[in-house]
Amino acid sequence: MAHTQEADTGMLPPSFVVKGTQLGETLNIVLEGELDAASASQVEAEIENAKRGCARLVLDLTDLTFIDSIGLGVLLAAKKLSREEGFELYVIPSRHECVTRVFALTETGKALA
């Protein structure tokens, strides 16, 4: 589900986009923009699909530009769910320094490995 905001000067890029694609037993979820309290429920809803016959969940954070503690909690909950439900979790890291810095400071990358 994508949402956009309009301004007097025209269209602004969406602040957050989540796209889930099921390919066989692999669920691929692409996150773009800002993962925070306002967008966390969208990601949680997509991750819930992993409970339905998913062998692998891929979280593609390549275009994630911002993440806060709520967003980190969503990703860590996905790791916990993968252990409970028995599917593999793969995380493709963000290419944006703001996100990679948060991951480094909190050691979230290690926790998701």
- pLDDT at residue 95, rounded to an integer: 97
Q: Which domains does the chain have, with CATH numbers?
A: 5-93+100-112 (3.30.750.24)
Backbone angles phi, psi at 15, to 5 degrees: -80, -20
- Could you tell me if 84 and 66 are in contact, meaning their C-beta atoms sit under 8 angstroms apart? no
Q: What is the pLDDT of residues 70-89, one digit of tens each?
A: 999 999 999 999 999 999 99
Q: What percent of the chain has pLDDT over 70?
A: 88
Confidence of residue 16 (pLDDT cuts 50, 70, 90): very high
Euclidean distance between CA atoms 47 and 63, whole angstroms: 18
As a whole number, the mean pLDDT across the chain is 89
